[in-house]
Each structure stands twice: as C-alpha cells, then as structure tokens.
Amino acid sequence: MKTSRLLVAALLTNSVCAMLALLPSLANAQTEFETTIYQFSGDAVKGYLQPAADLFGANMFAGQFRSAEIPTTGFNIAFDIVGMAALVGDDQKNYTATTPTNFTPRTFNTATIFGGTGTTVVNSSIPALSYRGPDGIINASVVPLAVPQLRVGSLYGTEAFVRFVRIPQSLTDKFPDVTLFGAGLRHSLSQYFPEIPLDVAVGVFYTTFKTGDLVDFKGYSFGLQGSKSFSLLTVYGGFAYESCTMKLQYTSTDPNVPGRLVDVSLDGQNTFRATAGAALSLGVFHIFADVNLGNVTNFSGGIGVGF
C-alpha cells in the first residue's frame, strides 16, 4: 500500500513536470520558460507548441471509464487515480518554422518543444545573416498525466464524474496556481435494451486547464461505451468524438510581431478515438488499463477503490 501511494505521488509529480514543460506559464511570471514563449510570434509558437496541444489534449480525455455498467439506481461511488501517457511521434519533434520577413529561405525545419537542437539557417542572399530556432525543451518519448477522478451515481442509470487538480503557488516557489478540472455524465443505454448481451452507455465530458493568463485549455468529448464482465475481469471499449483548444495570449518580445500582441488558439489534433481495455476487480479495488487509438495514440490506466 505504501508503494502504491509512492507511485501515485510520483505520477502526480510527473504530471506537474510534464505540464510545466508543456505549458510554460506554469513557471512563475519571471522564469525562463515563460520568457521563452514570449520570444515567439504567433505563427512560430503555433508550430513549436502544436505537438504539446495534441498530446496533452489527447491525455485530458483518456481514462473516463473502465466499465459501461451503470446501475439504474442506488448509491455508487468510486475514486480512481488515472494515469495517461501519449506517445511522442518522430513527426512531432520538428516543424516548419518561418524566418523573419524577407529572409531567404522563408521557412526552415527546426525543433518543436519535443525536438532536439534547433536549426540555424543562413540567409542565402547575404550569408552573414543567420537565424536560429529554439532547442526542444522536453526530452521524452511519452507525455504523462495523472488525475484523481471521483465517480458518483446512480440516478436513472446516470452517473457523474469529476476530476480536479489544483496546485497552489504556495506548494512550491516555482509554480503559480494551476487548475485542472473535468466533469462528465454517463448514462446507461443497456437499461433500455436488456436483451443486449453487454453493457452500453453514452458519455459526455468537459475539461479545462488554466494557468496564469497565458494558457487556457478547454475541451469536450462525447462517446459510446461498451463493456462485458467475466467474473473478475471486465473488457471494455468505445468510440468518442473530442475537441480541444489551447489558447495562448501574451505580449511577444519579437520586434517583428506587429503590435507585439499574440493571441493564438491551438486545436488538438485528436478528434476521434477508439478505446479498448480491460479492468480487474478485486472486491472494492480495481486496476485497469486501456489503449486509445486516433490521430494520437495514448494509453491510460490506473487504480481505484469503489463500489
């Protein structure tokens, strides 16, 4: 049990680490991370951070369910620690960046936030002039996230679940307040079709992530879920549509940015996911894991207690 607590603590710590890296404003207002982003124009920051929006967004929607069985009535409650991990693809380590106005070439290939060393490009007309892209910040093959999730039901075959993480600035002198929130509803369809040999439910989910004035992430999903239980084992899966946007607002220090104000929205690449997983129930304890396939492949899993 002590080991389990340590694992949860480590996962949560890594979530902060990943979020810190992905979302630079987690560092305090004067840190290098935030100042790093301020160097970017709107176009540049889009390319540099787009993979972060894709992978973080895919994680935010993972782990919503480990069964489609929702009792019609009665008090049911469960508490899960859900861990997610999105794979960083090679194509997410570089992007086509734009050089300053009138620079030749107009674009060059350089590192994203997940990439390696930034590329230095030399002006083809005047070789003395050169321009460099930033190095990648995160060295990772996966982007992790962990959230606590509370599930409460049931009323007419409907249950609600919430996720909430708040990291106050007072917890560490490095990070300002960070708030992750998610809430969803699931409703049993199989209650209307008792002849169906598996449990079926539909769900809707809304989630936000906010830190400082720089990053405002919002997203929603809805989907169809199914599961079949065999003694201790439950096999589950589903399909979902999802949409998320990471909004960035800041005053750029790039002298080439007209008005210096950057206001960009990064839409997460993942819009559809197919989920397949399995859960093991040992009394009130549960352990589960699943894979989510879509434009972004990610995995989720966790441990929980509940009935």
Q: How far is the CB of 148 from another protein (least distance, A)?
A: 16
Rule CB under 8 A: say whether 35 interacts with another protein: yes
Binder of another protein out of 58, 68, 137, 262 (CB under 8 A): 137
Lay out the site mask for another protein across 97-126 (x = CB under 8 A, - = otherwise): ---xxxx-------------xx-x--x-xx
CB of 164 closer than 8 Å to CB of 148 = yes
Question: What is the distance between the alpha carbons of residues 35 and 21, in angstroms, rounded to a whole number?
Answer: 13
Question: What is the distance between the alpha carbons of residues 168 and 178, in angstroms, rounded to a whole number?
Answer: 7
Q: How far is the CB of 133 from another protein (least distance, A)?
A: 7
Question: What is the distance between the alpha carbons of residues 209 and 168, in angstroms, rounded to a whole number?
Answer: 14
Residue closer to another protein, measured from CB, 31 or 245: 31
Binder of another protein out of 89, 93, 98, 129 (CB under 8 A): 129
Tokens standing for 103?
């620079």
CB of 23 closer than 8 Å to CB of 215 = yes
Burial bucket for residue 245 (CB in 10 Å: 0-12, 13-18, 19+): middle
Residue closer to another protein, measured from CB, 125 or 170: 125
CB of 93 closer than 8 Å to CB of 115 = yes
Look up tokens 């194509």; give the residue: 91
Residue closer to another protein, measured from CB, 101 or 170: 101
Binder of another protein out of 109, 124, 251, 256 (CB under 8 A): 256
Residues binding another protein (CB under 8 A): 3-4, 6-7, 10-11, 13-14, 17-18, 20-21, 30-33, 35-36, 39, 100-103, 117-118, 120, 123, 125-126, 128-140, 142, 144, 253-256
